[in-house]
Structure 1
Amino acid sequence: MFELSTPDWNRVVQTEVIDECRILPCGSILIPTNHGNLTLSINEMGIRIQNELKCDVNNYGILVYEPSPFEAAIKSSTTHTHISAKNHRIEIQHSPFAFEWKKSGNTIQKTPNDGHFVRQFRLPPMAKTEEGWLFSINLDAQEPVYGLGEKWSALNKRGQLVRSYNHDALGVNAEISYKNTPFAWSTKGWGLFVHTPSPVTHSVGHANWSQRAYCVLVEDNALDLFLLDGANGALIIEQYTQLTGRSPVPPLWSLGVILSKAYYKDVPELLETAKAVRDKHMPCDVITLDGRAWQDTDTRFAFEWDAKRFDDPAAVINALKAQQFKVCIWEYPLVSVNNKLFDEMARKGWLLKDKRSGQAYRYGWDMSAFAEVLTPLPESGIVDFTHPDAYQFWLESHKPLFDLGIDMIKADFGEQVDNDNMLAYNGDGGKRLHNVYSLLYNQCVYEAAQKYCKTGAFLFSRSAWTGSQRFPSQWGGDPQADWGGLVGSIRGALSWGMSGAPFFATDVGGFYKDTRDPVLFVRWTQAAVFSAHIRLHGIGQREPWSYGSLAERAATKALKLRYRLMPYIYDTMRQSSESGLPVMRAMPLAFPEQGLTHSFEMQFMFGDSLLVAPCTNPDGKVTLYLPQGNWLRFPTKEKYSGHQLLDLTLELDELAVFMPAEHSIPIGAEVENVEMLESDYLQNKDLPHWPEHDLAL
């Protein structure tokens, strides 16, 4: 495939300016080129480059805000055009198209200076290819780049070839991932966002393309690029989320422990587990009925309970409610051909169609992912969320579930729009719909929760695209149950956070290939305490006592700490909702001026005040860097000077967490679920603060 190979730059026709540029009435600059007209505008966030197809394609509501162009002036010669607006200056070279953007005299970005023996540039600054638009910007030597969605390897994407294309990744071990966005930023003070639903390939100083350039290949005929200007990552993320939206604050109960497994096979197992949680005084707020727990796999998904196991669903929900549990149920946006709903939706045109036959597309699953691990699935239709009636039907079909007492939807899958034989009601094919399908699905289910849920709207989604951060929250799917799975999950959380998404959770304990490793489970639980949301989930039991008594004590101690930290976590979530900053903040976000911290990618700030270094190996050893300043060990209050490397060996129930000495954080009551909290809890009225108040667990 083109995006995974080295393009032949000699065969690419570079963009050239072919006529005089002029100012349009809206304030943008019209740039006539051999690849059609482009417009360039300077605005409060930076610069925006678009082609003339912007208004002729489906944009899917990805943007929630469009900045107005500044009033500009231009000066042209036969070879260059100079654009000025406020304190911005842009020089455009005509042949080939190249640019340099300065603000207050300082260069923010420019065309890469990757030269060639014969022509001016080795790779085109801008071009229209068979695959789509190619655009290149400069990378200084050793300049880091962050973002690009949920990725499992190094947070600094420098040297990587990354494709913004959602996959059912079946783990955290490769480049492919469930949540992508074509948004990246550098600590040098710029960001790049491609406003598109289509796949985008990013060569981030990837040596096969150019080690001196960041190149994007936008696999679409439409082009809409934002080059953002911000002094640091936090300000660039603030701009990106102003464009694409921010999350509301989730309900308080969603901060509690979500207990799950794949899967509770019948009602007795479900209710016995719930009773054990309360009998053992394990902190927990939500219990989950995964896909096969409440649906008949052969006929799912149709908003109906498996009658063979649930002759009275209301009684089951009421029994869980009586024990102060919120209830989460699973769904996905596919309908089995074995369910009568398939024929009904196909007849109404509410499923994606097959271009070849004009009939509802029948999606066939890749059975290599199932076999003995997961139950094989039948052919299915895919809900067409571009059809207004289908969207409304799917949204309203949630009402009986919420009326029954369901509190939360686990919106799984969403990556199955995977070939261009699929056709949507709005005219787009599978390639253009593939990524943004997640956004439409997330939005539909979240709006259903807003309309019908009595306990506050909250969504748990696996697949996501630009804008999905507006619908909290997301989880990182299906990690391998080993130390590498834990490491990948932490990196995925931080990378997604650096991409403008504030809330994340992992499958604590790992999803597949579980070896019942008690130390791994404890360390994963401890790490997840310091995430926006926390869910114990995988194939097999994830209740702490299932790993033995030592693990149960250590994991329960960590979960109790989570509940004591709830007022601090909730305050942090409010801050995230206002700014777009993630709850888990990687070092380049948290300490932009302290470059030495940036290479420590396995530690992070949890909000403003807690530095967390998860233990990611079985021997309890942790190496971390304390930034400049004075620090207190949490919760023991030992004093440490910053600007030093620490090597610690932790006991099983011990954490590597630190707080700046001048900070304090509110501490809540020791409770087993949020319904036990006082009504003024969210205002932090009269709560004790650590370190003034001892934290006994």
Structure 2
Amino acid sequence: MSAVLPLPEEPLWSRLPPLAVTGPATQLSASTISLPTTAGPLLATALADGVRLRLGPTDLPLYPILAGDPAEESATLAEDDAGVTLAWGGFRLTLGREPLTFALERDGRIVQRSATDGHFVREHRLPPFARREDGGWFVALDLAASEPVYGLGEKWGPLNKRGQFVRSLVFDALGVNGERAYKNTPFAWSPGAVSRSGWGVFVHTPATVTHAVGAPLWSQRSYGLAIDDAALDLFVLAGADGAALLRAYTDLTGRAPAPPYWSLGAILSKAYYRTADEILEAAREVRRRGMRCDTITFDGRAWQDTPTRFHFHFDPARYADPKPVFAELKALGFKVCVWEYPLVSRDGPLFAEMAAKGWLLRDRRTGEPYLYHFDPEPFGQVLTQLPVSGLVDFTQPDAYAFWRDAHRPLFELGVDMIKSDFGEQVDPDCVAANGDSGERLRNVYPLLYNACVDEAARLYCPTGAFLFGRAGWAGSQRYPVQWGGDPQADWEGMAASIRGGLCWGLSGGPFHASDVGGFYKDRRDPELYVRWTQAAIFISHLRFHGIGPREPWAYGPEAEAAVTLALEWRYRLLPYLWACVEEATRTGMPVQRAMPLAAPDDPAAWGFDEQFMCGPDLLVAACPRPGGEVEVYLPAGRWRRFPQGGEPIEGGCVLRLRLALDEMAVFARDGAAIPLGPAVRSTAETGFAPEVETVWRG
């Protein structure tokens, strides 16, 4: 099956024969029926929040995408010449016979159903269910007029995916303004329309999924799903709004645990501190200048010899003994982050041993360890060329255990946080120890990788498990936190990073961060750096990172003053942010909430893609353009400027503001009580726990 599907005007499978039912239904259990079709038995299972539909083999390698067995419900079966009906609770599933179709209702309202778009030549423009000639599947769902669709992972464009082709395919995106993305999730949802209730659709697969979400080239009133897997496993979920649908989805795929409290403090990084003296001088300057900061980072080239990485050891040419360096960083009050990736250089100390033990992915053509060759253009021209490397095979239990336990000396040295970078490099020619192909493994590989590193941190890190993962798939939210890759260091890079974080939140990922200031190129734009910081202090995690300096004083005194003020508010808001984190662990609601999620009863708000709610009570309008001009929509209700206070503003309107460099466009709900802590320099000053000093009431 091809990992990259063509997008012709007439899709290749539009003329495939739709599946049909070939016999009567059989009740397999109180919750599941089997219905014979022209492509094998369809299994339909009644769930607490919807229905599960399965076709194809059930013996393919499994991965921990689901957090556990879904909650099933007892259902009653009825059958007549028209079709099959399954009923439970307020749900009713109707399965048509020729062609095979489905319609899921809840309390008499349609939740979701097979596409109803007809065609002059054939009954359906797109087949409701079809088996593709390459062994994959195609499913066509119905879309009502103007019904918005959200989710599908960390994508950089408009939040409403209606009218878009979107691929759920993990990629090293090399930036943030294309369709390719590091974190993909084949889960989409809609608040519904006048004629139907809210719905969610989750394709449970490790394989690539192409989503034609009301894309006019195929059908503007259908949602086409092309699944590159031999098995079709589709969850159709019901919910009154986005919050309910995220809860249902994260009931299936798991919720994020709370990261350590100190992780909410500022993280300082760059690509990269070249020597021990350079990182120590940066740490000392942070404390001399009174910058609020908790963590400092050894990026990849900062602590490893690039031609031989990755191997868990500091470069002996620069760090003959890293212990004194760690001792001083700890004395200065810093948590320490180190970088890693799941690739092992062919010229490094681990390669021969791991290859001999079968701990690396194999090349299906030769049976030898697969060798990944990095494209020289994006890496060699910008930083340094990366080495030809093997990939750790996390499906091999001994390899998984070795990689996990090899972290122990790092945590014993004093490492507090792992930046688990990359994970997008699995190619179709790879073969895993479990027999799976690279095509099926590619998307789920970062899930396995981050699960391994997270387990290492939970076992060996005394300050708590905290990762910064770049790549992800459905279920990756269980291993927080994720950050948004390598944005361009310009205004559109900032805007796309905000949209990417909001999309991740709409897809079940409650925590996110971006590279404040942008990653790609040392542009040193003070205004951009300030505006990016001001938006980021209201996101769950805050990291300064990129090529070139990311310390505030590198951008001039005016920018440093504005960032200092923003960081003061970040630290004062930590008790409020911690309450948002705790809510996320219970419900799946993200800290950074896009307007369709934050204002479900105010559709006028949904199109404002660069503003968001921080938790339940703070509305933030980012300023991703020079000059300080901001347009913000205030939903219905009354609002006050934060932190200025003042007279309430009636919502349901658009405000146009021009901001001074040190001014932010933030509004609090009238009557909200925002807990504020002291303006500490690091979370150590409050004992790594929230401390409420006062409550802001406008």
Question: How many Å apart are 1:530 and its aligned residue?
Answer: 0.6
> Closer, same or farther in 2 for the Cα pair 1:119/1:380, shift >3 Å?
same
Matches within 5 A, 1:366-377: 366-377=375-386
Question: How many Å apart are 1:643 and its aligned residue?
Answer: 1.2
Question: How many Å apart are 1:521 and its aligned residue?
Answer: 0.3
1:461 is aligned, of 455, 462, 469, to 469
Question: How many Å apart are 1:602 and its aligned residue?
Answer: 1.1
User: Are positions 1:481 and 2:489 aligned together?
Assistant: yes
Q: Distance in 1 between matches of 2:536 and 2:290?
A: 19
Question: How many Å apart are 1:644 and its aligned residue?
Answer: 1.3
CA contact (8 A) 2:15 2:126 kept: no
User: Are positions 1:136 and 2:144 aligned together?
Assistant: no
User: Are positions 1:470 and 2:474 aligned together?
Assistant: no
Question: How many Å apart are 1:2 and its aligned residue?
Answer: 2.5
User: Are positions 1:110 and 2:113 aligned together?
Assistant: yes
Matches within 5 A, 1:512-531: 512-531=520-539
- Paired residue type of 1:673: S
Question: How many Å apart are 1:381 and its aligned residue?
Answer: 0.6
Task: Give the structure 2 partner of residue 622 of structure 1.
Answer: 630
Q: Distance in 2 between matches of 1:655 and 1:134?
A: 47
Q: Distance in 2 between matches of 1:613 and 1:148?
A: 23
2:695 is aligned, of 677, 689, 697, to 689
- Paired residue type of 1:27: S
Q: Distance in 1 between matches of 2:126 and 2:225?
A: 12
Question: How many Å apart are 1:69 and its aligned residue?
Answer: 3.4
Task: Give the structure 1 partner of residue 48 of structure 2.
Answer: 44
Task: Give the structure 2 partner of residue 321 of structure 1.
Answer: 330
Question: How many Å apart are 1:57 and its aligned residue?
Answer: 1.4
CA contact (8 A) 1:506 1:535 kept: yes
Question: How many Å apart are 1:59 and its aligned residue?
Answer: 2.0
Task: Give the structure 1 partner of residue 166 of structure 2.
Answer: 162
Matches within 5 A, 1:313-392: 313-392=322-401
User: Are positions 1:85 and 2:88 aligned together?
Assistant: yes
Question: How many Å apart are 1:76 and its aligned residue?
Answer: 2.3
> Closer, same or farther in 2 for the Cα pair 1:298/1:9, shift >3 Å?
closer
User: Are positions 1:58 and 2:61 aligned together?
Assistant: yes
1:289 is aligned, of 288, 293, 298, to 298
Secondary structure, in 3 states, of the residue corresponding to 1:520? helix
Q: Distance in 2 between matches of 1:449 and 1:8?
A: 47
Percent pairwise identity: 53
Task: Give the structure 2 partner of residue 448 of structure 1.
Answer: 456
Q: Distance in 1 between matches of 2:369 and 2:12?
A: 39
Q: Distance in 1 between matches of 2:264 and 2:603?
A: 32
Q: Distance in 1 between matches of 2:567 and 2:556?
A: 16
CA contact (8 A) 2:294 2:682 kept: yes
Greater Cα offset, 583-592 or 367-376? 367-376
Q: Distance in 1 between matches of 2:109 and 2:520?
A: 51
Secondary structure, in 3 states, of the residue corresponding to 2:307? coil
Q: Distance in 1 between matches of 2:676 and 2:31?
A: 52
1:394 is aligned, of 397, 403, 425, to 403
CA contact (8 A) 1:45 1:228 kept: yes
- Paired residue type of 1:269: E
Q: Unaligned 5+ residue runs, structure 2?
A: 193-197
Q: Distance in 1 between matches of 2:677 and 2:410?
A: 33
> Closer, same or farther in 2 for the Cα pair 1:284/1:304, shift >3 Å?
same
Task: Give the structure 1 partner of residue 575 of structure 2.
Answer: 567
How many matched pairs?
687
User: Are positions 1:259 and 2:265 aligned together?
Assistant: no
Secondary structure, in 3 states, of the residue corresponding to 1:2? coil
Q: Distance in 2 between matches of 1:312 and 1:127?
A: 61
Task: Give the structure 2 partner of residue 540 of structure 1.
Answer: 548
Task: Give the structure 1 partner of residue 445 of structure 2.
Answer: 437
User: Are positions 1:8 and 2:8 aligned together?
Assistant: no
2:128 is aligned, of 94, 118, 125, to 125
Q: Distance in 1 between matches of 2:14 and 2:87?
A: 33
Q: Unaligned 5+ residue runs, structure 1?
A: 693-697
- Paired residue type of 1:256: G
List per-residue Cα deviations over 1:85-130 (Å, max 9, x = no partner).
2322222211111122211111111111110123211110010103
List per-residue Cα deviations over 1:500-542 (Å, max 9, x = no partner).
0000000000001332110000000001001000000000000
Q: Distance in 2 between matches of 1:344 and 1:537?
A: 34
Q: Distance in 2 between matches of 1:265 and 1:2?
A: 42
- Paired residue type of 1:4: L
User: Are positions 1:71 and 2:71 aligned together?
Assistant: no
Q: Distance in 2 between matches of 1:382 and 1:652?
A: 46
Secondary structure, in 3 states, of the residue corresponding to 1:500? coil
CA contact (8 A) 2:521 2:546 kept: no
CA contact (8 A) 2:56 2:230 kept: no
CA contact (8 A) 2:169 2:208 kept: yes
- Paired residue type of 2:389: S
2:204 is aligned, of 175, 192, 195, to 195
CA contact (8 A) 1:23 1:73 kept: no
Task: Give the structure 2 partner of residue 588 of structure 1.
Answer: 596
- Paired residue type of 2:464: G
Secondary structure, in 3 states, of the residue corresponding to 2:21? coil
Task: Give the structure 1 partner of residue 39 of structure 2.
Answer: 35
Task: Give the structure 2 partner of residue 695 of structure 1.
Answer: none
Q: Distance in 2 between matches of 1:591 and 1:273?
A: 42
User: Are positions 1:241 and 2:247 aligned together?
Assistant: no
Secondary structure, in 3 states, of the residue corresponding to 1:298? helix
Q: Distance in 2 between matches of 1:194 and 1:550?
A: 49
Q: Distance in 1 between matches of 2:155 and 2:528?
A: 22
Q: Distance in 2 between matches of 1:327 and 1:9?
A: 52
CA contact (8 A) 2:13 2:132 kept: no
Question: How many Å apart are 1:374 and its aligned residue?
Answer: 2.1
Task: Give the structure 1 partner of residue 195 of structure 2.
Answer: none
Greater Cα offset, 632-641 or 181-190? 632-641
Question: How many Å apart are 1:259 and its aligned residue?
Answer: 0.3
- Paired residue type of 1:150: E
Question: How many Å apart are 1:10 and its aligned residue?
Answer: 5.2
User: Are positions 1:95 and 2:98 aligned together?
Assistant: yes
CA contact (8 A) 2:671 2:697 kept: no
- Paired residue type of 1:270: I
Secondary structure, in 3 states, of the residue corresponding to 1:390? helix
Greater Cα offset, 607-616 or 62-71? 62-71
Q: Distance in 1 between matches of 2:541 and 2:280?
A: 23
Greater Cα offset, 438-447 or 114-123? 114-123
Secondary structure, in 3 states, of the residue corresponding to 1:638? strand
Q: Distance in 2 between matches of 1:456 and 1:207?
A: 48
User: Are positions 1:604 and 2:598 aligned together?
Assistant: no
User: Are positions 1:146 and 2:150 aligned together?
Assistant: yes
Question: How many Å apart are 1:142 and its aligned residue?
Answer: 0.8
Q: Distance in 2 between matches of 1:96 and 1:204?
A: 22
Secondary structure, in 3 states, of the residue corresponding to 2:645? coil
CA contact (8 A) 2:380 2:386 kept: no
Question: How many Å apart are 1:27 and its aligned residue?
Answer: 2.6
List per-residue Cα deviations over 1:65-98 (Å, max 9, x = no partner).
3234332223323342222223222222111111
CA contact (8 A) 2:31 2:74 kept: yes
CA contact (8 A) 2:14 2:127 kept: no
